[in-house]
Structure 1
Amino acid sequence: MIAVVAGGGARDLGWLPWAVLGLLAAVDLALSFRRPKSLDVESPAEIFVGETAKLRFRISGAPPGLQAKLDWPEGLAGGGEFAFQAGADSTATAQVACKAVRRGLWRFEHLWLRWTSRLRLLEFVPRLTVGAEIRVVPNIRLVQSGQITTTVMSTLYGVKENRAIGEGSEFQQLRDFVPGMDIKTIDWKRSARRRSLVAKELRAERNHHVIVALDNGYLMREEIGGLPKIDHAVTAALATAWAASIGGDLVGHYSYDVKPRTFSAPAPGRTAFARLRSWTAELDYVSRETNHTLALTELNARTPKRSLIIIFTDFVDTTSAELLVENIAILAKRHLLIFVALRDPDLGTLVETAPDDLDGAAALVAANQAINERRLVFERLGRLGVTIVDAKPSAVTARLISAYLEIKARELI
């Protein structure tokens, strides 16, 4: 620009700065460009939904000051751009936190690299193919830890085992009647044949049917605590199914949305749990509205024997819950029900926080109304004899297992 304004001989030399700049750029390119030789990725084969794992990247032939950014798939979440740490022999490594937010098989397609040339005239942004896969599966951390097994075994087969004998409804054995035993336990027919008093010893009945019913409609896709409600429900369902199998009961599962989807008859032991885990891992996220009338009617028809049915579902208000309550009332005439609802922690925080403006006051009124309507629905269900488990995602599993153990101890099934 100066050469053009100055005119004369300076105008003829106007190309010189551009030539120098081009030469510097060529030299900078020759000194700075390095094509990475190889990319190695270390990743876990599986991650429990809601948990965080570490991804490790190693690049050979890496230039100094290397930055990178991942193309994150839908089911995994991580940070933005991250830096590589230079090591020996032009090798750079990086470690990235990866949180599992959706069940399924997720594949990393590309890794974008970025580094600046030595003279800072150029910036290189190549793309490498990653090709790593991670499967996000339902969370069974509590099952693997042994905490549920210890709790159930100590509750049902520890100190309470002695109390359960003689107080149940299932025949255990015959024994001689001794003073201090309840007279009602005497078996008079066998006593007459033996010509001595014989008492029947009973124990708590086992082998009950426990069915986990999961509503997979669009309301269960709402995120609370960073995960969809259906994933919190699946985690609690698997933990309770494991507790039921340890408790000697038969476990089945059922899913529905706009119509019934899958049903598995109650089966004993760890086989039922493995089948349930495999099924929940493949449970899709759908956007269909739930038809409670069709679904619960079908479930009632498929379970002729009295069972403990654990229903995981959600509703918006008393109007939308009307059909749900009516069908649960029909189901409760034959079966024992546990109704599991997930409480939104953000809603409770909103109610407990004083509003700063008019919009905040309106949100507070709406939140209070929603909480009151949920309470009315729970009161109606409670009058039908339904056990209510209304808890935050972090507490729902413990509350549900406690409700199951109480039902077992009281022999309500």
Structure 2
Amino acid sequence: MLIAACAALCLSLLAIVLGDATRPIAGLPWVVLCGLAIVDLLLSWPRRRSVTVEPMPDIFVGEAGQIDLTVSPTAQGMLGELDWPSGLNGPSGFDLSKGTVQIPFRAGQRGTWDLSHLWLSWSSRLRLFEFVPKLAFGLKVPVVPNIRRVMSGEISTTVQSRLFGVKENRAIGEGTEFHQLRDFVRGMDASSIDWKRSARYRSLVAKEVRAERNHHVIIALDNGYQMREEVAGLPKIDQTITAALATAWAAAIGGDQVGFYVYDAKPRMFLPPEPGRAAFNRLRSRTAELSYESVETNHTLAMTELNGRTPKRSLIIVFSDFVDTTTAELMVENVSVLAKRHLIVFVTLRDPILEAQVNEAPSDMDGVAETVSTGQLLRERRLVLERLHQLGVTVIDAEPGEVSARLISTYLEIKAREMI
């Protein structure tokens, strides 16, 4: 329409400039343009359109999903655009000329995200006008913690084969928990003979033991502002929730009781240890409800509260992060107090971008300054982790894709060695 109006204006000015003979027809281009506009509107007047979308199942955070959307009636060259919320990443525009489209997106944050409006745009038959209606519809996209490894059965297979054997033989003969008495036969360990009961029964009997179960495993999750930093495309808090749920499932399969503790500026949530899958389902629902906080973590208050709530010796898995030795001082001090009574596993995420930056040769002076500062930051990080290790804390410092596997392996080793 703008181009046609400019053309009409140029013709009108030309008619005026050429003289008195052509001035009477100076308005003719505008009459023609108005006539074309009326015809174009009559041919292209937009009919009422409706939007249909398929309901969305739960989407795991960090994974891709797809929205099936239909608009009727269609128009040639119709384009669509959605107002994406902050937790979803999708295309800025898509083709709707066929009426049906599958829109891919990626879930970047947990939560239930609303898509309420669809913008459409298409040109009229003579391309003098462009229609841009806004259609309302309702679609909720639930983004939940990622339990893909739990659903695949990989963790169950690993834990059962390591702790119980292929036939789930309850690890008889290992550990310290009494299982049963049986007749002593040649080839058995002589140290297993129960001499008092042997004297009573007037024959040699041996004690069978098995690995102790029903330990308390507490997952302590730091939800302060440092855990909002993105690593490998996801906030650290979501990466740690994925590893925490994988470990909780492994502990449930291993026969232990799992508890949950969340803190930031103050303690936010404590769920006492419970056995079995019920504990895992409860953890999954509570972690899905966690908000993204922007406050500094108070490790002193958090660790003191946790120590008071766990009188029994437990395996406590702390997911946290720090910037340098100064900010980590209080954290190290309070974790060391907790380690006097409990077995502590400290889990932190390594940023692969920082590691790669130190290993690459800088191209200019700005790059040299960045490499030096990054190297200093990583050195201070290693100092803090070495100090925790010297205090008897098991440290897991790994990239996001490796944390779950290393943490489950550490848990199984602790179970096998009966360190709790």
**TM-score (ref. length: structure 2):** 0.94
Alignment match, 2:247: 240
Alignment match, 1:168: 175
Once the two structures are overlaid, the 10-residue window that deviates more, 10-19 or 370-379, is 10-19
Whichever residue aligns with residue 155 of structure 2, its letter is I
> What CA deviation, in whole Å up to 9, does each residue of 1:100-153 have, x standing for no partner?
111111110211111122222211111111211111111111111111111111
Alignment match, 1:297: 304
* Partners of 1:349 and 1:34 in 2: CA distance: 55
Match of 2:155 among 137, 148, 152: 148
* Partners of 1:288 and 1:267 in 2: CA distance: 30
* Partners of 2:62 and 2:401 in 1: CA distance: 11
The CA deviation at 1:177 is 2.3
Alignment match, 2:325: 318
Alignment match, 2:10: none
Match of 1:84 among 90, 96, 121: 96
Alignment match, 1:108: 115
Whichever residue aligns with residue 57 of structure 2, its letter is A
Instruction: Note if 1:68 corresponds to 2:75.
Output: no
RMSD between superposed Cα atoms in Å: 1.5
Aligned length: 408
Whichever residue aligns with residue 140 of structure 1, its letter is I
The CA deviation at 1:34 is 2.5
Instruction: Note if 1:54 corresponds to 2:93.
Output: no
Whichever residue aligns with residue 44 of structure 1, its letter is M
* Partners of 2:92 and 2:144 in 1: CA distance: 24
5+ residue gaps in structure 1? 87-91
* Partners of 1:208 and 1:310 in 2: CA distance: 13
* Partners of 1:188 and 1:163 in 2: CA distance: 25
Asked if the contact 1:36–1:59 (Cα under 8 Å) also holds between the matched residues in 2, the reply is no
The CA deviation at 1:85 is 4.3
Instruction: Note if 1:307 corresponds to 2:309.
Output: no
3-state DSSP of counterpart to 1:238: helix
3-state DSSP of counterpart to 1:130: strand
Instruction: Note if 1:99 corresponds to 2:106.
Output: yes
Match of 1:360 among 349, 364, 367: 367
Where in structure 2 are the equivalents of 1:203-214 lying within 5 Å? 203-214=210-221
* Partners of 2:97 and 2:218 in 1: CA distance: 52
Where in structure 2 are the equivalents of 1:14-413 lying within 5 Å? 14-86=26-98, 92-158=99-165, 164-413=171-420
Identity of aligned residues (%): 63
3-state DSSP of counterpart to 2:101: strand
5+ residue gaps in structure 2? 1-12
The CA deviation at 1:306 is 0.7
The CA deviation at 1:198 is 2.0
Whichever residue aligns with residue 68 of structure 1, its letter is G
* Partners of 2:157 and 2:390 in 1: CA distance: 33
The CA deviation at 1:35 is 2.7
Whichever residue aligns with residue 371 of structure 1, its letter is L
Alignment match, 1:89: none
* Partners of 1:26 and 1:225 in 2: CA distance: 55
Asked if the contact 2:159–2:250 (Cα under 8 Å) also holds between the matched residues in 1, the reply is yes
Cα gap change, 1:222 to 1:285, in 2 (>3 Å): same
Whichever residue aligns with residue 183 of structure 2, its letter is D
Asked if the contact 1:114–1:123 (Cα under 8 Å) also holds between the matched residues in 2, the reply is yes
Asked if the contact 2:50–2:135 (Cα under 8 Å) also holds between the matched residues in 1, the reply is no
Asked if the contact 1:217–1:287 (Cα under 8 Å) also holds between the matched residues in 2, the reply is yes
3-state DSSP of counterpart to 2:413: helix
Asked if the contact 2:56–2:141 (Cα under 8 Å) also holds between the matched residues in 1, the reply is yes
The CA deviation at 1:95 is 1.3
Once the two structures are overlaid, the 10-residue window that deviates more, 115-124 or 231-240, is 115-124
* Partners of 1:277 and 1:307 in 2: CA distance: 21
The CA deviation at 1:5 is 1.9
* Partners of 1:362 and 1:203 in 2: CA distance: 57
* Partners of 2:169 and 2:265 in 1: CA distance: 47
